Amino acid sequence: MKKLYLMCLLLIAVMGVQAQTRTFSGRVLDAGNSDPLIGAAVTLQGSTTGSITDVNGKFSLNVPAGNVTLVVKYVGYADQTVTFTANDQDVTIKLAVQQNALEDVVVVGFGTIKRRDLTGAVASVKASDIVRAPTHNPLEAIQGRAAGVDITRSSGNAGAGVDIRLRGTRSIANPITTAAGINPNAPLLVVDGVQNGGSINNINPNDIESIEVLQDASSTAIYGSQGANGVIIVTTKKGISGKAKVSYNGYYGVNGWTQFPKPRQGEDFVNLRRESYRNAEGVIPADNVVFPIPGELAAVQAGQYVDWMDLATKNGSQQSHTVSVRGGSENTKAAFSLGYFREEGQLVNNNYTRYNFRYNVDHKLNSWAKTGILGQLAFNKTNARRDPISTALTAIPLGTPFNADGSINPLPIAGAANTLSPITDQRPGAAVDETVGNEINATAWLELTPIKGLTFRSNLGTVLANSRRGQFNDALSLSQNNQRYSAASIYNFSSRYYNWDNIITYNKEIQKHSFTITALTSYIHNDQEDATAGGIRGVLNSQSFYNLAGSEASSRTTLSTYKRNDLLAYAGRLNYGFDGKYLFQATMRWDGSSRLAPGNKWDYFPSVSGGWVISREDFMKNVKQLNNLKLRASYGVSGNSTIDAYGTQSLLSSIRMGFGNVAAPAYTFNGTVLSPDLGWEKSATLDIGTDITAFNNRVTLNVDWYRTKTKDILYLRNLPQSSGQSLVYQNIASTQNSGVNIALSTVNIQSKNFKWSSMATFSHNAEKITGLVDGKDIFSSNQERGSLFIGSQIESFYGYKKIGIWQNGETGTRFGSLTGTQYKPGDIKVEDLNGDGVIDPTNDRTVIGHAQPQWYGGLQNTFTYKNFDLNIFLVARYGQMVYGEFLGRYDPSAAQNGPANFDYWTPTNPSNDFPRPGRGNLSNLYNSNYTSLFYIDGSFFKIKNVSLGYTLPKSVTDKFKVGSFRVYATASNMFTFTKNDLLKNYDPERGGAESSPLSRQLVFGVNLDF
């Protein structure tokens, strides 16, 4: 009986325990593509109870009957802790790829390294961020996402590129070298290991795996002179083993709603013209005096007002389509993609089309050898045109834009024979500017590992490019400006580029010591040739630029050039680490450049860096909230030889001379003259930084302070006319850049169905010229822009500082001399710097601003709720001055039109923005201080991208045999907020230019994996 009683108690206890537990099941998927994660660890928090997911990502384990909290872990993914209620069952848990994980592999110069072992300043942008912005240019997509990288779009034209600066401006550009396509401040672009591996405009953003930006000397030193302005490394997607994965990514949308000031219309313009005729007694004459051209007067009387801006612009479109295939076996992996991009600009006949095919195949020959080939075929076509916006903004808003049959009237105002219509180029065939280009990239590589730890790799990369630009303008086009004859030209360009690198890498670990030794040779060859032909008065306009032989014989011109340059380099690098705590790197590179003078072609560029991982020290083991704390410092020297290929030589060109009546050939120096002592421009950079990861990798902070001193800057200097020569390259200047870069990533909220993460960047750069030849400032022909001043930024603005408009009751200041004309109410008021009561160019002009911002940055917030995702990305640039071309379109005489939002001074409207209208002898208005209107604070804050997406549930996609399916909508450049109200209808990212303003974009897209 006692035994029976004990057995009953035991049975009741077991039943009680069973009643308090339950079987819980679910799936673990990749948050990016919803693929199952095999082998993920699912553990009940606070216990040893756990399970491993199977091939379908499924798991099952016994849990308490109430609410449960699970911890899910998978290598390469962020850990996730999720709480479920008692009613939850068959749940889906999505893990995100671990961002900024210490074990992430970062691509650096001629190799890779784990992020935890980095001693230099390297910013990384992954594929998921690159494709967020609907653009054809991958660098535009990383704007604001990498600290220290200042990126702006160069124009609003279809297919336009970007302007980019890494940590400010070090070198000094020259208008002549800039016109020749030489940019001494451009960073080095490395595509799949090939230096200068083709045009970034030809790379499809969907083909990119990651972009790394190397910024300090430690990171860039292995590239020597090539990396003087930083290095951008683009790594494209590679093949994978297993079942082939087919993907489609595409979008279509509208470009338009351009932010640009509207011109004055109707009575607004007429009133300005009338006001300009107001005489000293305050009387405005009759309209036949105000509008002396009969066609203008007739148009005013008939109310024939025209909005030329509306007729000259339109909404465009943008579309992109990419199909990719990735797959292979353990020995052979391949990736192929085919892309199409088309952008219709905001101007009629302005569009850009690109086709590209990218391939990447690698094959494992045996256990110690593998090889591969990768590259791209790209074709692009651009239809450009002379920008009509300046003309549309300033044209008299009167007349008849169209003839009775609907065709464009090129001379819209009767009696104004020289006043062309702003839309005259929109006549069929009237103006053609077509460029077609082809680019072939091919890289072959071989990698051998004869013994453990030793690797030899040889890369041979080639870029073959050619393009043709054809232009035609008839007699009534804007370019010909009613000169009564047509003009046509054709320009052909081809280049051949080769980059051969041989790299030996040896890795060795001895107990707590780790060594990586890298040695390499690098050879770069580049040659290019071009030919131009042109003529006027062709036989038929319909032949455009295709029949130059039919042009007037005496007008035909031909020109051809050839250029070649070579670079040979040797380099070595040592990486050493002890116990994961103490890191050291030393690099030495020797470069020889054909561009420089004999005897100065070779130089060496050393660097050294170190890191201390404080979080691995014993005294930090109890600080559980801190995952990683590293201090690092680097110092190194890089070089720059970016001048014209034959810039150190005296070249000759032929001319014709006459002795009496006898013609004779002669020769003269062509451009630059001999510069026998020209040597390397050098930059020495000190960088001190820290990397912090905390709170279970949910917070990552990277901070860098740097200072770069550049000396012996290469500059194309003007020579006095008495020398009989014009230009010479010299090492004449020095500059300094210093600043701070900050990047912060956080996971703010992470729960079962909702996640909020943020990424912020902040960059401050202070630059100045520290020395010029003879210690004197250099004034350019345009003193307001292009002059060089010791102590100021390279791109500085020089002139009078506008402080308002002279108001009633204010007198006393004169201009020109003590006996000059006194300013009147309504005139522009500029600052009298020396306080002598006279405004004169010698004493009252100064540096009034700089083109580079005081700081710039970006802020990205990403929200996911179940299958919805929302991304909001903001960018800002603060403290830069822009040269607002359209600001100078205010015409006090109203002889031409201008922006409608300009508030000008009148006796009843004492504005401080623009001066009073007037005609005749307006020396007060038209003296040199009128240009002070152009210069304005260009600070802005912009909502760059807003993207909303939805991913179909796995249960739905499984039914249609689809891996994943996501639809999204993205709005770009929709809202821009400026510090100065005069820019409120303008996007100052463009930099102040009135041509090709930036437009807004709204696209709808699909991401589909089969």
Segment 793-852, tens digit of pLDDT: 999 999 999 998 888 888 766 766 555 677 888 888 888 898 888 888 888 899 999 999
> What pLDDT shows up at residue 959?
81
**Which single residue is written with the structure tokens 């015409």?**
891
Q: Would you say residue 924 has pLDDT above 50? A: no
Confidence of residue 176 (pLDDT cuts 50, 70, 90): low
Query: Phi first, then psi: what are they for 273, rounded to 5°?
Result: -60, -45
Please, which residues bridge with residue 965 across strands? Answer: 1008
In sequence order, which residues have a C-beta less than 8 Å from that of residue 369 and are 6 or more positions away? 446, 447, 448, 449
Q: What is the mean pLDDT of residues 850-864?
A: 94
**Which single residue is written with the structure tokens 């009680």?**
16
**Which single residue is written with the structure tokens 């300013």?**
823
Confidence of residue 362 (pLDDT cuts 50, 70, 90): very high
Q: Would you say residue 12 has pLDDT above 50? A: no
Confidence of residue 498 (pLDDT cuts 50, 70, 90): very high
Q: Would you say residue 33 has pLDDT above 50? A: yes
- What is the number of residues in the chain? 1010
Q: Nearest-CA neighbor of 937 among 996, 847, 877, 857?
A: 877
**Amino acid identity, residue 447?**
E
Provide the 3-class DSSP secondary structure of residue 807: coil
Asked whether the beta carbons of 770 and 734 are under 8 A apart, the reply is yes
Query: CA torsion, points 532, 538, 543, 549, in degrees to nearest 10?
Result: -50
Confidence of residue 678 (pLDDT cuts 50, 70, 90): confident
Quote the CA–CA distance of 309 and 388 in Å, as a whole number. 9
Quote the CA–CA distance of 656 and 663 in Å, as a whole number. 7
**Which single residue is written with the structure tokens 């007429």?**
270
Confidence of residue 762 (pLDDT cuts 50, 70, 90): very high
**Amino acid identity, residue 929?**
N
Q: What is the mean pLDDT of residues 69-75?
A: 83
Q: Nearest-CA neighbor of 39 among 24, 51, 26?
A: 51
Q: What is the mean pLDDT of residues 263-267?
A: 89
Sign of the four-CA dihedral 405, 406, 408, 409: positive
Q: What is the mean pLDDT of residues 648-671?
A: 75
Q: Nearest-CA neighbor of 425 among 476, 486, 351, 483?
A: 476
Among 539-543, 670-674, 979-983, where is mean pLDDT lowest? 670-674
Among 166-180, 297-311, 388-402, 504-518, where is mean pLDDT lowest? 166-180
Query: Phi first, then psi: what are they for 310, rounded to 5°?
Result: -65, -35
Confidence of residue 742 (pLDDT cuts 50, 70, 90): very high
**Per-residue pLDDT tens digits for 870-916:** 999 999 999 999 998 888 888 888 888 888 888 888 888 888 888 88
Asked whether the beta carbons of 828 and 805 are under 8 A apart, the reply is yes
Tokens of 251: 């979008």
Tokens of 561: 């050039």
Asked whether the beta carbons of 308 and 392 are under 8 A apart, the reply is yes
Confidence of residue 282 (pLDDT cuts 50, 70, 90): confident
Q: Would you say residue 208 has pLDDT above 80? A: yes
HSE-up (13 A, CA, CB side) for residue 274: 14
Provide the 3-class DSSP secondary structure of residue 983: helix
Antiparallel, parallel or unpaired: β 91-95 and 21-30: parallel
Alpha-carbon separation of residue 93 from 65, 78, 80, 952, 1009 (angstroms): 20, 12, 9, 15, 20
Judged by phi (left if over 0) then psi (alpha if -120 to 50, else beta), residue 482 lies in left
Better-scored residue on pLDDT, 717 or 848: 848
**Which single residue is written with the structure tokens 């939850």?**
88
> What pLDDT shows up at residue 6?
44
In sequence order, which residues have a C-beta less than 8 Å from that of residue 252 and are 6 or more positions away? 317, 318, 319, 1003, 1004, 1005
Q: Nearest-CA neighbor of 120 among 682, 604, 690?
A: 690
Quote the CA–CA distance of 169 and 564 in Å, as a whole number. 27
∠ Cα 191 194 199 (to 5°): 55
Beta strands across the sheet bearing 21-30: 58-64, 21-30, 91-95
Binning the chain into helix, strand and coil, the percentages to the nearest 5 are: 15, 50, 35
Query: Phi first, then psi: what are they for 987, rounded to 5°?
Result: -95, 105
User: How many DSSP H helices and E strands does the chain contain?
Assistant: 12, 48
Q: Would you say residue 13 has pLDDT above 70? A: no
Q: Would you say residue 16 has pLDDT above 50? A: no
Query: Phi first, then psi: what are they for 202, rounded to 5°?
Result: -90, 0
Q: What is the mean pLDDT of residues 197-204?
A: 88
Q: Would you say residue 76 has pLDDT above 70? A: no
Quote the CA–CA distance of 122 and 115 in Å, as a whole number. 9
User: Strand (E) positions, 478-512?
Assistant: 487-510
Provide the 3-class DSSP secondary structure of residue 19: helix
**Average pLDDT for the chain:** 87
Quote the CA–CA distance of 461 and 459 in Å, as a whole number. 6
> What pLDDT shows up at residue 67?
83
**Per-residue pLDDT tens digits for 400-412:** 999 999 999 999 9
Q: What is the mean pLDDT of residues 614-625?
A: 88
> What pLDDT shows up at residue 467?
96
Quote the CA–CA distance of 904 and 827 in Å, as a whole number. 10
Confidence of residue 663 (pLDDT cuts 50, 70, 90): confident
Burial grade of 185 (CB within 10 A; 0-12, 13-18, 19 or more): buried
Query: Which of 102-116, 638-652, 685-699 is the most confident on average?
Result: 685-699
Query: Which of 131-140, 810-819, 857-866 is the most confident on average?
Result: 857-866
As a three-state string, the secondary structure of 261-316 is CCECCHHHHHHHHHHHCCCCCCCCCCHHHHCCCHHHHHHHHHCCECCHHHHHECCE
Better-scored residue on pLDDT, 64 or 513: 513
Quote the CA–CA distance of 336 and 26 in Å, as a whole number. 35
∠ Cα 415 891 785 (to 5°): 125
Burial grade of 667 (CB within 10 A; 0-12, 13-18, 19 or more): exposed
> What pLDDT shows up at residue 18?
44
Tokens of 794: 């390279």
